A and B are shown apart, each in its own frame.
Chain A
Amino acid sequence: MTATATDRLTHMQLLEAESIHIFREVASEFENPVMLYSIGKDSSVMLRLAQKAFYPSPIPFPLLHVDTGYKFAEMLEFRDRYTAELGVKLIVWRNEEALADGANPIKLGTQRCCGLLKTQALLDALRDHHFDAAFGGARRDEEKSRAKERIFSFRDSAGQWDPKNQRPELWNLFNGRIGPNESIRVFPLSNWTELDVWHYIHLEKIPIVPLYFAKPRRMLVRGDALIPVEQPFVQGLPGEEQWVKCRLRSLGCSPCTGAIRSDADTVPKIIDELMGMRNSERANRVIDHDQDGSMEIKKREGYF
């Protein structure tokens, strides 16, 4: 973003400066960092911030996509095209063993499925590559346990988070010292809100997956829920499958991410829609509602 003529920086410039500072600290203090790339809007913003942080040098770490095997086809296509265009190094990791066993959310339930295809796969990937720091795009405004997390979030040698015993984190002096096999998860977007992310995408014209934009799509209509038809094991009852003008508010796995009815087919229209929203962005995610504090449990185990 170019500086405005006034003396005061906008809140977008403040957030950008803070995130860039975080990226540079990590790249300078760790031997082998990686950026988790989930293909969603927050990842797109992170990627732009990483480009800015190291300009005119290239991004000095690879991207890691943990592919559960159930991501939307449009996401994978976007991922491959955009990362190739930027010339960044992309690592894709899948829990092939679990997938070969036929792991899916309907068979295993969402909790076990996430545990195997997301958390397990992530921990395996981090261990296999000896990554000592991993950037994630999580924001504190997303969910209550995320609101508690440090920007530099310490993980023990099993990749676990101990929310009751976090390192103090004062000013912007981040403590990146770790022992063997320990690691740090880093959240450069900690202080961004959902609106800030969209605002930045708008100002910076950042490319995002088309699934965020409304258009008529084949959906299973079940009560209020719109369930995307992508996987053969997601079967509708007669009459459930319809064309609906809709979009996705956050991108996850197709069987577990509901769409919302919407006419918003541009970023400003999405922002307008967001301003009128009464429910949080994760309200359409099945996984957060498994039980009280389910996000915290997943996070303790190593999920982002």
Chain B
Amino acid sequence: MIFASEDSIATAQDLASNEATARAEERLEAELGKDLLRFSTAGSVDDGKSTLIGRLLYDSQNVYDDHVRAVTRNATIDFAQLTDGLRAEREQGITIDVAYRYFSTPKRKFIIADTPGHEQYTRNMATGASTADVAIVLVDARKGILDQTRRHACIAALLGIPIVLAAINKMDLVDFSQEVFDRYHRDLQALARQLEIPELIAVPVSAIDGDNVVHRSQRMPWYDGPSLLELLETVPLAIDRSNAGFRLPVQRVMRPNQDFRGFAGQITAGTVHPGDEILALPSGRRTRVRSITTWDGDLDVARAPQSVVLTLEDEIDLSRGDMIAAVAAAPLKTTHFEATVVWMHSTPLRPGATYFLKHTSQTVRARVVEIRSRIRVEHLEQHPAQQLALNDIGQVVIETSRPILADLYRDSRATGSLILIDPTDNTTAGAGMIRNITDREAGNLDRATRGLLVIGNRAELALQLEQSLLQSGALVLRTHVPTSPALVAIAHLGALVLIESDSAEPITFTAVRGADTTPRELAFDKPDEIFNEVQRLGTIPTGEDDNDNGLGI
């Protein structure tokens, strides 16, 4: 009898442990199938950002009991304190620095950056927003859109966050009024249009009570849309926002022995396979990928943002700061460009000041040669400025001591972003997004903008483009002769050929080198937009080792 019962206990335990193992494996499988969404909060101080995040975590059962106990006073949970983790923050009841929180639902995994609202801490807001896929902008239903709301929305837009969720908060304090919601929703849509934010979705919430945070509210029958969490679980992911071709900035050269020489880095855009033809930049030499080496074995394919080691077919000299890129759409080699800068240092940015500039894995000396404008957040207009003070946003022209290999920020976050480091105190003084690459040395065939641009009957546009391209150093030929082999040959020599005609045909650009030589229709009509696009598509940095014979064959 005794033996029998011990046996059955053992069996029951085995069963429980098998069940535990099965449950865990099922859960891990599910975890691997989930997307990861990064979002950040934004909005003025006291709009309820931290409370909202606390509520989101609590109602989705993502807070441990001991953490809840620690912020419960007189049976009321202080939701903001679930994220405000610094002593100074709890003492002052404000958020000073960004707090990162992690949670998951059966649908997705999330990384939240809860950011501070005070103007003084704007740089911390930008820190949190720089890696976000979605921004939640909070608006206090009693106050509407404030300067700080505008500033944060502006930074979110500049950082290229494609989706903004607007939480009109504290609806409990305005009697859950539809009219209030509609008014601020309209204001926000107008703001989104002005800032060119692709998508803004507004939700009426009460963060403190949880209405429309995780669960849909019963108290606003006029709203039949999804809760904030439902939106977060379903908005499309911008997994690969980058339009650029394959790029791998070289972080480090791996040379464990005489027989192995590999280039380590994180792929910032695109995919790569063994055998792919690539450009080694800045030299411009072409070769092929021999292997994608990792600790887990060689790979058949690797894609952004994997960290890998590439070996190449030919012995090519590449070091930290250089880049391996797709031949078809290589980044530009530049020492002179325009950037939008968010200034983060107490000493204002003035023309002529020099900094260290970090871009991908390269750090160079840089000088801000000109401040083009400053954005006034009250009206979001550009104004001339002599300097950029702490938390200002403006357009500047930067010159670097050595070339960097860059893309425009809108095409590729990783290769279009930079930070400026103060050389005296080593702090991060500014964050920049490259808007326009402007250096073209006249007659520099290596760097020339080459191709055929069909303009049709837009004579005024042709004139403007001719002027700005010539000013930028490009070799331009403007003609009424239709596309011909002779014009293609001229383009191959390093010229940009502007072809006019009498018809209203679409504007097209044909690059004459690289893989993509089919005419591309340009969806722009402003001269500077076309200018940028032509420079992007038509400029291929090459070098003395380049094996191009000048005729593209």
Contact = CB atoms under 8 A, between A and B. Distances in A.
Nearest to A173: B419
Contacts of B21: 266, 268-269, 272
Contacts of B126: 168, 170
Main secondary structure of the interface of B (DSSP, over half): mixed
B101 interface: yes
Interface stretch (B252-260, B442-450, B498-506): B252-260
Nearest to B297: A2
Interface string B306-346: 11010000000000100000000000000000000000100
Contacts of B25: 268
A52 B295 contact: yes
Interface in A95-154: 140-141, 143-148, 150
Interface string A176-200: 0111001000000011010100010
A283 interface: yes
A157 interface: no
A10 interface: yes
B361 A28 contact: yes
B99 A148 contact: yes
Interface in A38-91: 51-58
Contacts of A1: 296
Interface string B55-70: 0000000001111000
Interface string A7-26: 11111111011101100110
Given A173-B418, A269-B24, A190 B127 contact: no
Contacts of A12: 32
A121 B123 CA distance: 34
A264 interface: yes
A14 B36 contact: yes
A8 B32 CA distance: 11
Nearest to A266: B21
Contacts of A141: 101-102
B111 interface: yes
Contact of B414 (A8, A171, A263, A268): A171
Given A2-B296, A56-B254, A164-B88, A268 B24 contact: yes
Contact of A163 (B83, B97, B260, B428): B97
B411 interface: no
Given A52-B294, A170-B419, A269-B17, A279 B255 contact: no
Given A25-B361, A170-B130, A11 B255 contact: no
Nearest to B68: A278
A227 to B, nearest CB: 18
A51 B295 contact: yes
A280 B64 contact: yes
A55 B254 CA distance: 8
Contacts of B246: none
A147 B101 CA distance: 7
Contact of B86 (A145, A178, A193, A263): A145
A271 interface: yes
Contacts of B356: 177
B426 interface: yes
Nearest to B239: A8
Contacts of B65: 278-279
Contacts of B306: 3, 9, 13, 17
Most buried by B among A9, A195, A268: A268
Contact of A55 (B102, B265, B293, B421): B293
A275 interface: yes
Contacts of B33: 10
A271 B24 contact: yes
B458 interface: no
Contacts of B190: none
A254 interface: no
B87 interface: yes
Interface string B128-148: 001100000000000000000
Interface in B20-73: 20-21, 23-25, 27-28, 31-36, 64-67
Nearest to B264: A24
Contact of B309 (A55, A164, A199, A296): A55
A58 B295 CA distance: 11
A231 interface: no
A172 B109 contact: no
A272 B27 CA distance: 8
B307 A17 contact: yes
B531 to A, nearest CB: 27
A61 B174 CA distance: 59
A292 interface: yes
A18 B17 contact: no
B13 interface: yes
B266 interface: yes
A148 B252 contact: no
A250 interface: no
A296 B361 contact: no
Contacts of B255: 57
Given A52-B295, A199-B28, A271-B27, A3 B100 contact: no
B440 interface: no
A148 B86 contact: yes
Contacts of B260: 56
Contact of B20 (A172, A173, A273): A273
B286 interface: no
Contacts of A31: none
B85 A145 contact: yes
Interface in B66-100: 66-67, 83-88, 90, 96-100
A147 B552 CA distance: 54
B303 interface: yes
Contacts of B130: 170-171
Interface in A243-269: 263-266, 268-269
B72 to A, nearest CB: 14
Contacts of B262: 56
B251 A147 contact: no
Given A28-B320, A166-B97, A272-B23, A3 B32 contact: no
B305 interface: yes
B252 A24 contact: yes
A293 interface: yes
B266 A17 contact: yes
Q: Which 8 A-B pairs have the closest CB atoms?
A: A144-B85, A20-B307, A268-B24, A170-B130, A272-B24, A55-B295, A272-B20, A52-B295
29 contacts: A8-B239, A11-B32, A12-B32, A21-B251, A27-B252, A51-B295, A52-B295, A56-B260, A57-B255, A140-B100, A140-B101, A141-B102, A144-B84, A146-B85, A148-B85, A148-B86, A163-B96, A169-B127, A170-B130, A171-B131, A172-B131, A172-B266, A175-B426, A175-B428, A191-B111, A268-B20, A269-B21, A278-B64, A278-B65
